[in-house]
């Protein structure tokens, strides 16, 4: 499915809005849920320190929101770049960012709220797929906006004097 510049801008804006909603939900609604849900769960290790499981899972949720927002902004960048040039790499970047948000951030949301295994899926195994897509998306965005490919009309030849 092809998605043009305005489609990526709109997708990025919607994703950014959802990140804000989820961030607000995490800040104002999840702490009590996590305290109850993880009250009997043994402490987790974070950077060598033992912390309550509720704290660890809140941090994981916040990581999901943070990556969600950064990649929503990446989608907006894809849309803005797509207004200047059309490149297959920009489409790849847009799809990788979108799917990366769904698989990485979505997996962290489900993992922290519903538990590590829900609907028969081990959600901790889904997140790395999303993270990989996010990484590919950044490289695809770089390739899509790069003007250093041979034959590019964006390049000015150093061997030609200006105005010739």
- The answer as to whether 155 is a domain residue is no
- The answer as to whether 60 is a domain residue is yes
pLDDT of residue 149: 59
Which residues have C-beta within 8 Å of that of residue 97, sequence separation ≥ 6?
Answer: 71, 72, 74, 75, 78, 133, 134, 137
pLDDT of residue 2: 75
Question: Over the chain, what is the mean pLDDT?
Answer: 87
Total count of domains within the chain:
1
- The answer as to whether 163 is a domain residue is no
pLDDT of residue 131: 97
CB of 13 within 8 A of CB of 74? Answer: no
Domain hosting 136: range is: 9-144
CA distance 164 to 162: 6
pLDDT of residue 154: 45
- The answer as to whether 159 is a domain residue is no
CA distance 36 to 23: 20
pLDDT 10s digits, 33-85:
899 888 888 998 988 899 998 899 999 999 999 999 999 999 999 999 999 88
CA distance 69 to 74: 9
pLDDT 10s digits, 101-153:
999 999 999 999 987 776 777 777 889 999 999 999 999 999 999 877 554 44
Q: In Å, how far are 50, 53, 155, 162 from 144, measured between CA atoms?
A: 44, 42, 15, 27
- The DSSP secondary structure of 25-76, one letter per residue, reads HHHHTHHHHHHHHTTTSPPEEETTEEE-HHHHHHHHHHHHHHHHHHHHHHHH
pLDDT of residue 16: 97
- The answer as to whether 2 is a domain residue is no
What does the block give as tokens for 150? 């041979």
Q: Using pLDDT thresholds of 50, 70 and 90, give the confidence band for residue 158.
A: very low
């Amino acid at each position: 499915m092809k998605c043009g510049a305005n489609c990526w801008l709109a997708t990025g804006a919607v994703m950014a809005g959802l990140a804000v909603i989820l961030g607000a939900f995490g800040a104002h609604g999840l702490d009590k849920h996590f305290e109850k849900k993880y009250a009997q769960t043994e402490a987790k290790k974070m950077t060598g320190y033992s912390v309550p499981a509720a704290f660890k899972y809140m941090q994981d949720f916040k990581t999901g929101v943070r990556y969600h927002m950064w990649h929503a902004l990446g989608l907006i960048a894809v849309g803005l770049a797509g207004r200047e040039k059309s490149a297959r790499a920009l489409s790849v970047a847009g799809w990788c960012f979108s799917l990366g948000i769904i698989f990485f951030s979505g997996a962290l949301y489900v993992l922290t709220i519903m538990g590590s295994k829900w609907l028969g899926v081990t959600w901790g195994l889904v997140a790395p797929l999303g993270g990989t897509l996010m990484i590919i998306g950044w490289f695809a965005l770089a390739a899509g906006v790069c003007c250093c490919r041979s034959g590019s009309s964006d390049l000015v030849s150093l061997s030609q004097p200006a105005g010739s």
